[in-house]
Structure 1
């Protein structure tokens, strides 16, 4: 390693976390990968470890900190949700810029998250946690017939989330969650039940730098009901001058303060209820659908570059991003294609994929299952087989291309 280049450690740079490596490298940093688990998480897109200066696997905290200290890193940053607690702890132990470990659990455990927000006096849902489906159902029965949301404590992508209208549905949903495994490889030993938040749900993406913030994007969830679940259909970019943006971002800043997220990216899901914004959940990491070129072309900047500046060059972040809000350079959305098909993928039709990619509105295409993987009916984001980033100056052209994507997607996968 050349001494003039700072060294950055990325923890669990799965999925969109991989974009942080390129962002830090673009600022002249050498980047090392640290895995929080002995084996890679199979349910997430693995990082290309050959692109890193080195790849390490975490051991006991003291030993891991000792090994990292030998590298003399400038930063230890989480690349994806599972890496948040380890990045918080290692950065704190090494005396580096950090969000600290005191609230790490509340940044991952949704029950602790909401309780921290409630303690700070910020609007949030009522909730209950238990490892007993009967106890969860009994709590739901006390909610005066109002719907209840049942979910895992630390999953993402609406995995395992059900909207239930009675104790029997709540009990069945709780039983389905207990013992199941999240996309992060964690076994669900408890269930979270929350009061249903009626309204319109939004994504609020931010980047913080020592408490100064950049509002990186607000996206409105366009969801479709599939069984007992509302599943993401599109994430639609909201014009920054829409009055809802100011209200959502102000609220989200209060949530960030409550959870001690003073530096780095955050991805919040917030319901705009008749009483005002209320937190669904938040992650101390980038948007799972973030795509640097797409975001830069639609919003004027991307979360990965802003995050790298916030961590590595705070003065430059302050000059370029602090106190600012994204632009909307064109109409845009992220389209999460759903399927009702099921079976083992034999092949992905390259000609169909090329035809989708060639559409005027299409900016990026992500195919999730490949040959040998199992395609299953869509019930959440992880089971959506195809993500398409779409943007166009003409709303009619955008709608036309979306319909074409859906039609073409039906012939994309050849099943055994």
Structure 2
């Protein structure tokens, strides 16, 4: 199926779910709904597909609607009597999903806080209004105003970021005025991750502590926690580089406190339905939100998560919408099981050039390691390879699972030794 608007195939007796902007891991949603007897249709929020992410697999959908206006799109979807509208990705898809679900009168997070679920400044202010712990912050279109705020506050470093981007795009940890100016000018001079102009820049207090990601699914404000993972990061210059995510036991401190905090944060943001992916730093004062997105996590790999957690966020999302009573009775208010120790290694590089070839022998060596569940080699011959500065510029992803943490540590060290031999650079 092309990205052009098409008429849907007859849905017969099958209920229909709508997915808006099914980029990256949202491609797991159509098979998850299909396993529960639900057909899916796709809504494309932009006239052309975004190029910053792998394209949606439109062949998995009965139809693709290219949105002209939300009202016109809702009118066409209404004939299908959809059971839900799910945002597949950050960016314009989140706000469009909120609007369409409201127009179609299906389970919805509504539109009153829709902007706060995308704009990082409004997001934190919504938490502040609810009395929840959050960062200090300031936004401006003028780099000097950002510098003045940081200098008046006098507590370094600070974090500078775009208001509505994603994938750690444009996020800098700044320890002096010159770094703030440089980061702000770079943000204002470039579009965000979704190709939209950055008109303002956000500066926030730096949250000291370990960072975690928290994936949940909600229905009527009741939630199932799909997983809590601790981030490993390395500061390279002004950029915090994601290195490795490690699965946390659900009953071990500080996980229960993190889950309770995220539950309150989602309530403050009006997130009552659907998947969410939150990032939280546990400061000396307690868990504090970095940001949250109303979509399934970018690291979702269903078969890997099934092995490690007993289920996965895509299947739980489909269950909540397709069989809400089953979700509420079986999963709501509960958390994942830790069946195996697990981690996700986002493989960095300092190489800069063009990939001449991939050394398949080295790839096989990594794949043969005991705890390697899956290796994803992201580049091929002819692709440009650049030093890793954010999530998209990681060169490989390794999903690892095992019965003993020591085995994961051993294999992780071996991958670090082999990683720079995978790509031959021209």
2:348/2:395 contact within 8 Å kept: yes
More displaced stretch, 225-234 vs 70-79: 70-79
Aligned residue among 353, 365, 379 for 1:369: 379
Runs (4+) of structure 1 exceeding 4 A deviation are none
Q: Is the counterpart of residue 108 in structure 1 residue 118 in structure 2?
A: yes
Q: Which residue of 2 aligns with 1:222?
A: 232
Q: Is the counterpart of residue 303 in structure 1 residue 313 in structure 2?
A: yes
| Superimposed CA distance per residue, residues 168-196 of structure 1 (whole angstroms, 9 cap, x where no aligned partner) | 22111111111223332222221100011
Q: Is the counterpart of residue 409 in structure 1 residue 422 in structure 2?
A: no
Matches within 5 A, 1:15-414: 15-82=24-91, 83-414=93-424
Structure 1 residues 274 and 375, CA, compared in 2 at 3 Å: closer, same or farther? Answer: same
More displaced stretch, 33-42 vs 65-74: 65-74
2:124/2:134 contact within 8 Å kept: yes
Distance 1:314 1:228 in 2: 45
Paired residue secondary structure (1:235): strand
Paired residue secondary structure (1:142): helix
Cα shift at 1:358:
2.7
Cα shift at 1:74:
2.0
Distance 1:104 1:267 in 2: 16
Cα shift at 1:348:
3.3
The gaps in structure 2 that reach 5 residues or longer are 1-9
Cα shift at 1:72:
2.7
Distance 1:376 1:395 in 2: 31
TM (norm. structure 2) is 0.94
More displaced stretch, 302-311 vs 341-350: 341-350
Cα shift at 1:390:
0.6
Cα shift at 1:359:
2.1
Structure 1 residues 347 and 51, CA, compared in 2 at 3 Å: closer, same or farther? Answer: farther
2:16/2:38 contact within 8 Å kept: yes
Q: Which residue of 1 aligns with 2:19?
A: 10
Q: How many residues align?
A: 416
Cα shift at 1:366:
2.4
Q: CA RMSD in A?
A: 1.5
Cα shift at 1:287:
1.3
2:65/2:73 contact within 8 Å kept: no
Cα shift at 1:407:
2.9
TM (norm. structure 1) is 0.96
Distance 2:183 2:39 in 1: 46
